[in-house]
């Protein structure tokens, strides 16, 4: 019988001035970026936390503390790679990722496919195994003050790996 695990991730960041806006590993042209110790890519942070949660590892903030100078302006792909390495060490493969970006601005219609591609490359899966959706807030937080993201991952047992 094959085993599966599920993980859920969430993150949110406020907008800040002159900084590139990165979502899902893709730079999105916009007047403001997101505030954070690293590059503040909320979508990759949510994906990394979902991966870590699925394998029972400590969350992103615990593993990569926001006050640690090593992670100042860090590329969030580093966090996803580290989380994916923990997944692989545990004998798991990514079945799929389903993610939602919650933002009133900017509009993400032309960028979702690029985000899917970028995330799929990080996780060694086909783009069809990654879904990136975008929703507006209808006036609820974060509203126009920032961006939030949620991600769910399904992990499946790697062939030939025995679980204890």
CATH code of the domain covering residue 98: 3.30.1330.50
Q: What gap in Å lies between CA 4 and CA 96, rounded to an integer?
A: 11
Note whether residue 110 is domain-resident: yes
Q: How many domains does the chain have?
A: 1
Residue position matching structure tokens 């790996």:
161
- The domain in which residue 24 lies consists of 4-157
**pTM for this entry:** 0.95
Task: Give the span between the Cα atoms of 144 and 79, in whole angstroms.
Answer: 26
DSSP characters over 86-133:
HHHHTTEEEEEEEEEEE-SSS--TTTHHHHHHHHHHHTTS-GGGEEEE
Q: pLDDT tens across 118-163, in order?
A: 999 999 999 999 999 999 998 887 888 999 999 999 999 998 876 5
Examine residue 163 and state whether it is found in any structural domain, yes or no.
no
Is 137 contained in some domain?
A: yes
């Amino acid at each position: 019988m094959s085993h599966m695990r599920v993980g859920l991730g969430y993150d949110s960041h406020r907008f800040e001035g002159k900084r590139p806006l990165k979502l899902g590993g893709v730079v999105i042209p916009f007047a403001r970026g997101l505030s954070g110790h690293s590059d503040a890519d909320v979508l990759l942070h949510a994906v990394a936390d979902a991966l870590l949660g699925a394998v029972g590892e400590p969350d992103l903030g615990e593993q990569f503390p926001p006050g640690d100078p090593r992670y100042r302006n860090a590329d969030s792909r580093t966090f996803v790679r580290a989380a994916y390495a923990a997944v692989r060490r545990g004998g798991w493969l990514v079945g799929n990722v389903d993610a939602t970006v919650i933002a009133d601005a900017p509009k993400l219609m032309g960028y979702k496919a690029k985000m899917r591609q970028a995330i799929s490359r990080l996780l060694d899966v086909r783009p069809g195994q990654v879904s990136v959706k975008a929703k507006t807030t209808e006036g609820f937080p974060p509203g126009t003050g920032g961006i939030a993201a949620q991600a769910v991952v399904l992990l499946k047992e790697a062939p030939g790996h025995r679980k204890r």
